[in-house]
Structure 1
Amino acid sequence: MWARWGMAWVAGAVLLLGGCASTVSSQVTAFGETPGFDGQRTYALTRTADQQNNQEHATYERWLRDRLSSDGFSEQSPNSANFLIGMDYGITQQTLRVAEPAYDPMFMRGPWGRPWGWGGYPGYWGPPMYVERDYPYALAGLQLRFTSRASGKEVYRVSVQTADGGNSLATAMPFLIDAALKQLPFPSGRTVTVRQEVK
């Protein structure tokens, strides 16, 4: 299940809280022993029991098919495809607690940058107090598993996470799918940041 491999991604949340970004940043981690996809790029999608007769999942499958097609993959029956591809995904609501500086309004700077205190008399510019604030954000993730139909062994697994994709999985999924297949394959055992423009 996605929650088992999801991780707390504070850096992405900080970027999200910085305002509406023109890009979506995703963290991509892949594992695979094969040097690439040099064989026939044919595939069939697999489903879990929960994904059967699920219209949301069917929509995500359609988006995945379109993206795989642009990478030269063609869909075939599960009995003849070179790769069996399974997908898992999820979204969790997170809270980021940030300590922010807050100055006493009675000791704000006056003209020419001089600090002023009570009643307009010169005061001092004291150290800021810190106030903790909670910021909610959504962490969305996708995992794709490529299994060799002939051997039954998993040959490639890629996981993607983003906190920039909005508050719903449907909003984040196009970015997750694109990031997962931005490079095929990604270096095994490394986490790569993929940035995508918001159109």
Structure 2
Amino acid sequence: MGKRWALATLAVVSVLLAGCASTVTSQVTAFGDAPGFDGPRTYALTRTPEQQNNQEHATYEQWLRTRLAGDGFSERSPSSAHYLIGMTYGITQQMMRVTEPVYDPMFAPAPWGPWGRPWGGYGYPFGAPPAYVERSYPYGLAGLQLRFTDRASGKEVYRVQANTSDAGTSLASAMPYLIDAALGQLPFPSGRTVNVEQKVGR
């Protein structure tokens, strides 16, 4: 039981360290009046002052344009688009503390079977039990928010937030998953949080 627990813990930690999970899970929460997208699917992107002349933001905008095109949206000028879409995002660096077993090398689990090392020692539980140490591992908690505003009325018609801790420690690595998750369903049910799973490298 202890060995299986240790292996499971190490698997989780390796995912956080390497960012190599086979899937990325995002938590998506939306607010808006259903159906929310009755009008023409035309849009223009808006920018905050900090996002002007920002090459990182321009890259994320291009990823968003590509995803919106796949949903049947067409970009127009800010004076003629049906929707104005604002995009905000960020990442915070977090630390996860994990308690892990540490074995005396003489009694550590070995590939030679249940009897431990071939030169002596019979392995736990026949030898010394493992000690336990706490280690800290970094991970990133990334978030994206998209805000759809009706240009003619100025009314916000839809807001969606996506968050994930599965996509590495950089915002650039997380953004493709966040954009895809946030637009995975238009619209998502208002006021509910939905888990969206995406395969890595698809």
SS at 1:17 equivalent: helix
CA distance in 2, matches of 1:109, 1:55: 51
CA distance in 1, matches of 2:174, 2:122: 54
1:41-80 Cα deviation digits (max 9, x unpaired)? 1111111010111111111111111111110111112222
The worse-fitting range, judged by mean Cα deviation, of 82-91 and 100-109 is 100-109
Assess if the C-alpha contact under 8 Å between 2:148 and 2:159 holds in 1: yes
**Equivalent in 189, 192, 197 of residue 191 of structure 2:** 189
**CA distance 1:183–1:112, change in 2 (3 Å):** closer
Aligned residue identity for 1:172: A
**CA distance 1:16–1:120, change in 2 (3 Å):** closer
**CA distance 1:107–1:70, change in 2 (3 Å):** closer
SS at 2:50 equivalent: helix
Alignment of 1:30-69 (within 5 A): 30-69=30-69
TM-score normalised to the size of structure 2?
0.78
Give ranges in structure 2 of 5+ residues lacking alignment.
1-11
Alignment of 1:26-175 (within 5 A): 26-104=26-104, 113=114, 124=126, 128-175=130-177
Q: CA deviation at 1:17?
A: 3.0
Aligned residue identity for 2:147: R
The aligned counterpart of 1:198 is 200
TM-score normalised to the size of structure 1?
0.79
1:4-29 Cα deviation digits (max 9, x unpaired)? xxxxxxxxx86943862222221111
Aligned residue identity for 1:31: F
Assess if the C-alpha contact under 8 Å between 1:115 and 1:124 holds in 2: no
CA distance in 2, matches of 1:144, 1:80: 20
Give the CA RMSD over aligned residues.
Answer: 2.8
The worse-fitting range, judged by mean Cα deviation, of 139-148 and 126-135 is 126-135
Assess if the C-alpha contact under 8 Å between 1:45 and 1:86 holds in 2: yes
1:161-198 Cα deviation digits (max 9, x unpaired)? 12222222222211111111011111111111111122
Give ranges in structure 1 of 5+ residues lacking alignment.
1-12
**CA distance 1:75–1:127, change in 2 (3 Å):** same
Assess if the C-alpha contact under 8 Å between 1:109 and 1:125 holds in 2: no
Count residues in correspondence: 185
SS at 1:86 equivalent: strand
CA distance in 2, matches of 1:91, 1:139: 5
SS at 2:66 equivalent: helix
Aligned residue identity for 1:49: P
The worse-fitting range, judged by mean Cα deviation, of 163-172 and 96-105 is 96-105
